[in-house]
Amino acid sequence: MPYPANYGGVIDIYYKLKALHAQGVKIHLHCFEYGRAEALSLESICEKVYYYKRKMSKQYLLNKLPFVVVTRSSEKLMDVVMRDKHPILFEGLHCCFHLDEVRLKDRTKIVRMHNIEHDYYVNLEKVEKSLFRKIYFGMEAKKLKLFEKILNKATHVAAISPADTKELAGRYKNVHHITAFHPNEKVTIKEGRGNFCLYHGNLEVGENNEAALFLVNEVFSKIKLPLVIAGRKPSVELAEAVNKHKHIQLKANINTQEIDDLIKDAQINILPTFQATGIKLKLLAALFNGRHCLVNTPMVANTGLENLCCIKDSAEDMLAEIPRLFELPIDRTEVSRREQILSENFSNNANVKKLTQLF
């Protein structure tokens, strides 16, 4: 369900839909429902929207296929898809249950890869605190690695980052780099200086919780500059860590507009990650709309965004850099540099033209 577009994967899907619609492409959107309401607003950019209940029974945990895949299968979906001969875009390995269907052998089939999925799940396993979820992520990682071979049945594979493109091209044919779709049309950096630092992300995701805890415990516990942490469903552990420090504030479950305002008002958007997979849409949001971006190497390695960020990998190096950036205004040269690189390499218009050429 790509609406509301309020976290990584669905942001890419929603703005891809908008870009395809703007190009005159008529979209038949098939959504698996599991907790998000049907979105009437999708009908304004799609020819037709179909909904299917995702099969969430725990019995599927015992299936040889990944749980995220086998629970997204539907004979009703296949009945609808077989009514025409349109090209089919599969959003992620999760949605590839029907990719090797004999009934689809003559169709153009494009798979959008948002990550190297088994690597992503291995990293989720590493940071997970719950024993059940840790076991689940480990099992899914093994199953996803085996299941990935289904990409041999795809006509094209559209990878989201240069690093993912290179890795997948070593295993499959017709792999293309089509970078992330996103809501940013132009660079909109506020003049002047902000008076706080910001970390934002979906905090119920283990890697984001880990990054936020790192900033609280290893960095901002040792420096008195204000930090705001914003995102959905923060953990109890994170809330307790924040409560120990008066200069650190947690803004939980705020809406997309409030997140956007924080990105623009912050002096430094601090975005470390400990999982170098895909491309982080929150980094694009910060570069298009925020002032300084302080990141670590895994956040930007092989993305083409390295020259637009200040890169520091250790807590000690971040502690040395934050006071400097906190006093440093963004100048016009830096804004121009961002405009050039982002418009050349991260334009939705250019991106959608690459995608439609695969149809």
164 and 208, same domain (yes or no): no
Q: Please, which pLDDT band fits residue 317 given cuts at 50, 70 and 90?
A: very high
- Give the relative orientation of helices 281-289 and 8-22 as an angle to the nearest 10 degrees: 70
CA distance 79 to 196: 53
Nearest to 144 by CA among 105, 194, 95: 95
- 170: its two tokens: 């070593």
- 304: its two tokens: 């083409």
- Per the domain annotation, does 356 fall within a domain? no
Percent of the chain exceeding pLDDT 90 equals 86
CA distance 323 to 335: 21
Query: In Å, how far are 42, 60, 98, 156, 359 from 153, measured between CA atoms?
Result: 29, 24, 10, 9, 16
**Mean pLDDT, residues 193-221 taken together:** 95
**Mean pLDDT, residues 309-335 taken together:** 95
Exposure on the CB side of residue 343, measured as CA atoms within 13 A? 10
154 and 63, same domain (yes or no): yes
170 and 266, same domain (yes or no): no
41 and 178, same domain (yes or no): yes
The whole model's pTM is what?
A: 0.87
- 92: its two tokens: 């992620």
> Domain ends where: 183, 206, 230?
183
pLDDT at 197 over 80: yes
- 225: its two tokens: 């500059």
- Mean pLDDT, the chain, rounded, equals 94
102 and 142, same domain (yes or no): yes
Task: Find the farthest-apart pair of alpha carbons in the chain and give their distance in angstroms, rounded.
Answer: 62
Adjacent-strand bridge partners of 310: 294
- Per the domain annotation, does 257 fall within a domain? yes
pLDDT, tens digit, for every residue of 23-61? 999 999 999 999 888 999 999 999 999 999 999 999 999
Could you tell me which residues come within 8 angstroms of residue 270 by beta carbon, excluding any fewer than 6 positions away? 197, 198, 199, 215, 219, 227, 294, 295, 318, 322
138 and 64, same domain (yes or no): yes
> Domain ends where: 183, 206, 233?
183
Could you tell me which residues come within 8 angstroms of residue 126 by beta carbon, excluding any fewer than 6 positions away? none
pLDDT of residue 8: 76
pLDDT, tens digit, for every residue of 132-172? 999 999 999 999 999 999 999 999 999 998 889 999 999 99
Q: Which domain holds residue 55?
A: 8-183
Q: Please, which pLDDT band fits residue 279 given cuts at 50, 70 and 90?
A: confident
- Per the domain annotation, does 70 fall within a domain? yes
- 137: its two tokens: 């992520």
252 and 120, same domain (yes or no): no
pLDDT, tens digit, for every residue of 85-144? 999 999 999 999 999 999 999 999 999 999 999 999 998 999 888 999 999 999 999 999
CATH number, domain containing residue 259 = 3.40.50.2000
CA distance 259 to 285: 10
14 and 156, same domain (yes or no): yes
Q: Please, which pLDDT band fits residue 185 given cuts at 50, 70 and 90?
A: confident
pLDDT of residue 193: 93
CA distance 202 to 220: 20
Could you tell me which residues come within 8 angstroms of residue 358 by beta carbon, excluding any fewer than 6 positions away? 87, 108, 110, 155, 156, 158, 176
- Per the domain annotation, does 189 fall within a domain? no
- Per the domain annotation, does 215 fall within a domain? yes
31 and 168, same domain (yes or no): yes
- Per the domain annotation, does 1 fall within a domain? no
pLDDT, tens digit, for every residue of 219-270? 999 999 999 999 999 999 999 999 999 999 999 999 989 999 999 999 999 9
Nearest to 348 by CA among 14, 7, 4, 41: 14
**Mean pLDDT, residues 69-85 taken together:** 97
- 25: its two tokens: 């492409």
- Per the domain annotation, does 161 fall within a domain? yes
239 and 288, same domain (yes or no): yes
pLDDT of residue 251: 97
- 109: its two tokens: 């089939």
CA distance 46 to 25: 9
Q: Which residue has the higher pLDDT, 332 or 268?
A: 268
3-state secondary structure labels for all residues of the chain: CCCCCCCHHHHHHHHHHHHHHHCCCCCEEEEEECCCCCCHHHHHCCCEEEEEECCCCHHHHHCCCCHHHHCCCCHHHHHHHCCCCCCEEEECHHHCCCCCCHHHCCCCEEEEECCCHHHHHHHHHHHCCCHHHHHHHHHHHHHHHHHHHHHHHCCEEEECCHHHHHHHHCCCCCEEECCCCCCCCCCCCCCCCCCCEEEECCCCCHHHHHHHHHHHHHHHHHCCCCEEEEECCCCHHHHHHHHCCCCEEEEECCCHHHHHHHHHHCCEEEECCCCCCCCCHHHHHHHHHCCEEEECHHHHCCCCCHHHCEECCCHHHHHHHHHHHHCCCCCHHHHHHHHHHHHHHCCHHHHHHHHHHCC
209 and 82, same domain (yes or no): no
- Per the domain annotation, does 2 fall within a domain? no
pLDDT of residue 278: 66
Count of the separate structural domains present in the chain:
2
**Mean pLDDT, residues 295-299 taken together:** 95
pLDDT of residue 319: 97
215 and 146, same domain (yes or no): no
Give residue for tokens 């719950």: 130
pLDDT at 277 over 80: no
Give residue for tokens 């492409």: 25
**Mean pLDDT, residues 334-341 taken together:** 91
